[in-house]
Amino acid sequence: MNQSRDTILISDTIRAIEPAGEEPDERFFGTSSGDLGALSLLLQRYLRAAKGTLRTLEKPKKCTLICCADHGVAEMQVSAYPPETTAQMTANYLLAKGAVANALANFARSDLYVADLGIKAPLPPLPTLIDRKIAHGTKNSAKGAAMTREEALRSLAVGIRLAHHFTAQGYRCFLPGEMGISNTTASAAITACLCRLTPAKATGRGTNISDERLKTKIEVVRQILAVNRPDASDGVDVLQKVGGFELGCIAGLILGAASKRAIVILDGFNTGAAALIAQALSPAVTGYLLPSHLAAEPAHAAILEKLSLKPYMDMRFRLGEATGSSIVADFLDAAIDASKSVRTADKNAPEAEYDTADMPQIQRRSISENAPHDDVIRLPEFPAPDALAMAACQKRIDSLAKPIYSLGRLEALAVRLAGVTGVAQPPLASGRTLLIFTAEEPSERQKHLTAAFAAHAGAPVTLAQLDAASSAAAAFAFGQKIAHELTADCPLIGISLTAPSNETAKEKADLLAKALRHEKDGGDLLDLLHRLPPASCVEAAALLGAISAAAKNRSLIVLDDPATETVAHFAERIAPTLTPYLLYVQRDYLALSLAASCGVAACLGIRLMDAALHMLNDMKTFAQTAVAVAADGPGRGRQG
């Protein structure tokens, strides 16, 4: 009877899934829709899924759901952690509340829920745990099917029912995550089958296992596929033979959310594999999926391609606790706030009034106020980062209850800030500011975008007006003076240039790159800057002055647009000790194509740092959470 109800529920849910809506009204995005780069596509995809309108655009209520279950294939020694870690981490989410999922849910302002689909080891009393246990873990898929077909259907039905339950409570955005030792082995088998990859190409290091264990894992995936021969045309067959209960639940959650026109933001490799199952059952679900990051697992790119999704960032994550999806959910919130603000500046938009009183006023500065200066531009030696603070910060991160190095560039961000500030554990409330140099007045649209994203990042804005008739030396001194004042007690500063369009922004970056391609060892840089047209010369000089002053004040400099990044790269070639102070947000982290950014990318870079600080301050250590440490790979002997 239960099987019959599950089968009917799944069939009814799939029939209820409609294709996502048509393109939203482009008048909102206007002729300069590229100002938001890929964030415009993020907004459009969200509106299509919700069949919303620009008039009704609101930030969605977010639900982080961590699905937990054990895998019989763990007995093949394919993970760096023992099987009981699944139960220990489940308790961590709900008792100690010291996992990555907790920290990033705090960051994204998402409500966190945890479900037991098939944890094998005994659990302590966990009153808020959603108990949907199907069995005490799957069977060993290297020796036969991971579960029965009835169990596969049940796992899908559980996910659908959870989606219906939470959407009834007003949740419109789901951030699924998973916990289950050896689940990347199951996901590798799913991906190999549905993306037609070899086991070697589908299988990665998961919890950061050693080379020897990786060889074993690849052979286990090969054995799983040979023994089970899953049918790629039947999503339930694939789930039954090589999947996991938590992966089936997430696939069901995707189906259920799509049937209610709610969105699901995918995290990494495992949620991607679950999405492949959902897509196999209902291709229309892809219209309700949003990507987040490109995971460190090598086959994640193939998953995203199969789902027709392009990631918004590359953070080198190898953890599936709604980490990247939490960050993209935050970006979506910022873009929605900005879109509502921009409509107040768009005379062609449908009439609407939005409260922008909470947005910071843009402080204005003018080069005319500049103090006397020398007619020489030099970049000094900059203080080395605090090595002790960096080592202490990394030691804490390595001791947090997660696979070692699993948060990739988020870990590097925290360590970088520790080195710059000399504080081993920088606080969440670290000061921040945004400095924008402009040779011409930004458009009303740009000012609204800047103000909205700055408000989201909690960064006061200073707009520094330049004059093309000024000398480069005067502009350099002007940039120094403002940045020195802004970073006197502020460890984070975003620095940007303005441009009226993406095309002119790209032209400016190309012009600067061509003129500044030659190195010059110390001395006066004026002759090099004078190769530039007057406006570009003044802009480059002001940027050099601001970068120099901010680094001398030991502030981390979050670079915004390609032109600013070009000038910064030139500066660090001249003064290599500047390098630790420069954060190339668009070059190294984001895939958003924000050429005429006007501070937007820098504000998102500051939010990436906030995510890193939540990790550093909200998470707890292995000792505090009683979670088992790594028994293999680089974490062995280092975690504790």
Question: Range with the lowest mean pLDDT among 48-62, 92-106, 353-367?
Answer: 353-367
* CA–CA dist 302, 218 (Å, integer): 17
Distances (CA, A) of 259 to 164, 254, 308, 580: 9, 9, 20, 48
Q: What is the mean pLDDT of residues 364-374?
A: 72
Note whether residue 29 is domain-resident: no
Looking at per-residue pLDDT, the higher value among 432 and 519 belongs to 432
pLDDT at res. 324: 97
Note whether residue 51 is domain-resident: no
Summarize pLDDT for 546-577 with one digit per residue, the tens.
Answer: 999 999 999 999 999 999 999 999 999 999 99
Local structure of residue 93 (DSSP, 8 states): I
231 and 90 within one domain: yes
pLDDT at res. 372: 61
The CATH number that applies at residue 94 is 3.40.50.10210
Q: What is the mean pLDDT of residues 144-150?
A: 98
Q: Kindly report the average pLDDT of the chain as a whole number.
A: 92
313 and 386 within one domain: no
Question: Range with the lowest mean pLDDT among 63-77, 358-372, 388-402, 408-422?
Answer: 358-372
Summarize pLDDT for 324-341 with one digit per residue, the tens.
Answer: 999 999 999 999 999 888
436 and 320 within one domain: no
3-state helix, strand, coil in the chain (%, to 5): 50, 10, 40
Where do the H-state alpha helices sit in 292-344? 300-306, 323-343
Bridge partners of residue 365, in order along the sequence: 464
Is pLDDT above 90 for 525? no
pLDDT at res. 356: 44
pLDDT at res. 120: 97
Element housing 366 (H / E): strand 362-366
528 and 390 within one domain: yes
Note whether residue 348 is domain-resident: no
Residue type, position 84, single letter: E
Q: Which of 247, 322, 317 is nearest to 280 (CA)?
A: 247
Q: How confident is the model at residue 187 (pLDDT cuts 50, 70, 90)?
A: very high
Question: Range with the lowest mean pLDDT among 16-30, 422-436, 461-475?
Answer: 16-30
SS (H, E, C) 504-551: HHHHHHHHHHHHCCCCCCCCCCHHHHCCCCHHHHHHHHHHHHHHHHHH
For strands 432-438 and 130-131, give the pairing. unpaired
Question: Range with the lowest mean pLDDT among 143-152, 327-336, 345-354?
Answer: 345-354
390 and 314 within one domain: no
Note whether residue 141 is domain-resident: yes
* CA–CA dist 421, 599 (Å, integer): 23
270 and 182 within one domain: yes
Based on the structure, what is the number of domains in the chain? 2
pLDDT at res. 351: 38
Note whether residue 347 is domain-resident: no
Angle CA 406–407–410, to nearest 5? 160
DSSP count for the chain of H helices, then E strands? 24, 12
Strand, helix or coil for residue 438: strand
Is 305 catalytic? The answer is: no
Q: How confident is the model at residue 579 (pLDDT cuts 50, 70, 90)?
A: very high
Local structure of residue 369 (DSSP, 8 states): G
Is pLDDT above 90 for 257? yes
Angle CA 286–595–53, to nearest 5? 45
Q: What is the mean pLDDT of residues 455-464?
A: 96
The upper half-sphere exposure of residue 322, i.e. CA atoms within 13 Å in the direction of its Cβ, equals: 35
pLDDT at res. 398: 96
Q: What is the mean pLDDT of residues 244-254?
A: 98
Is pLDDT above 80 for 267? yes
Is pLDDT above 80 for 518? no
pLDDT at res. 21: 77
533 and 442 within one domain: yes
299 and 155 within one domain: yes
pLDDT at res. 53: 64
| Residue with the two structure tokens 């495992």 | 270
pLDDT at res. 4: 82
Report residue 67: phi and psi, to 5°. -100, 130
Is pLDDT above 60 for 124? yes
Query: 555: burial class by Cβ within 10 Å (0-12, 13-18, 19+)?
Result: buried
- The encoded tokens of residue 189 equal 């088998």
- The encoded tokens of residue 278 equal 């959902």
517 and 460 within one domain: yes
Is pLDDT above 60 for 520? no
pLDDT at res. 526: 75
Catalytic residue (choose from 151, 178, 297, 321): 321
pLDDT at res. 370: 58
Share of the chain above pLDDT 90, in %: 81
502 and 612 within one domain: yes
Bridge partners of residue 171, in order along the sequence: 61
Residue type, position 184, single letter: T
Summarize pLDDT for 78-93 with one digit per residue, the tens.
Answer: 999 999 999 999 999 9
Note whether residue 397 is domain-resident: yes
Is pLDDT above 50 for 350? no
Share of the chain above pLDDT 70, in %: 92
474 and 415 within one domain: yes
- Angle of helix 562-574 relative to helix 502-515, nearest 10 degrees? 20
Distances (CA, A) of 557 to 43, 207, 316, 516, 560: 28, 32, 22, 20, 9
Question: Range with the lowest mean pLDDT among 266-275, 407-416, 435-444, 484-493?
Answer: 435-444
Which residues lie closer than 8 Å to 65 by C-beta, 6 or more apart?
A: 113, 114, 115, 162, 166, 174, 175, 176, 177, 253
Summarize pLDDT for 32-78 with one digit per residue, the tens.
Answer: 444 688 999 999 999 999 887 666 789 999 999 999 999 999 999 99
Residue 488 is part of which domain span?
Answer: 361-367+382-618
Is pLDDT above 60 for 522? no
pLDDT at res. 51: 81
Note whether residue 633 is domain-resident: no
- Angle of helix 235-242 relative to helix 211-228, nearest 10 degrees? 130
Contact 284, 258 (CB under 8 A): yes
Its pTM stands at: 0.95
Query: 218: burial class by Cβ within 10 Å (0-12, 13-18, 19+)?
Result: buried
Q: What is the C-alpha radius of gyration for the chain, rounded to an integer number of angstroms?
A: 26
DSSP 547-598: HHHHHHTT-EEEE-SHHHHHHHHHHHHH-GGGGGGEEEHHHHTB----SS-T
pLDDT at res. 444: 86
Strand, helix or coil for residue 162: helix
- The encoded tokens of residue 220 equal 């286990």
Where do the H-state alpha helices sit in 111-148? none
Note whether residue 140 is domain-resident: yes
- The encoded tokens of residue 276 equal 């492949």
* CA–CA dist 339, 269 (Å, integer): 31
From the CB of residue 360, how many other CB atoms can be counted at a distance below 10 Å? 15
399 and 326 within one domain: no
